Amino acid sequence: MGKTTESFSRYDGADYLNDLGDAAAYLEAVFEESGDPAMVAQALGTIARSGNLSELARRVGMSREGLYKALSADGNPSFATIVKVVNALGLRFRFESVA
pLDDT of residue 95: 83
CATH number at residue 56: 1.10.260
Dist. CA 89–CA 85, nearest whole Å: 6
Q: Read off the pLDDT of residues 38-95 as tens digits, 9 standing for 90 and up.
A: 999 999 999 999 999 999 999 999 999 999 999 998 999 999 999 999 999 999 888 8
Asked if residue 1 belongs to a domain, the reply is no
10-28 pLDDT, tens per residue? Answer: 888 888 999 999 999 999 9
Res 13: pLDDT: 87
Is there a contact between 49 and 14 (Cβ–Cβ < 8 Å)?
yes
* pTM summary value: 0.82
For residue 9, give the DSSP letter. Answer: P
Residue 57 belongs to domain spanning:
38-93
Asked whether residue 53 is domain-assigned, the answer is yes
Give the total number of structural domains in the chain: 1
pLDDT score, position 94: 84
For residue 7, being part of any structural domain is answered with no
Rounded Cα distance between 35 and 16, Å, is 22
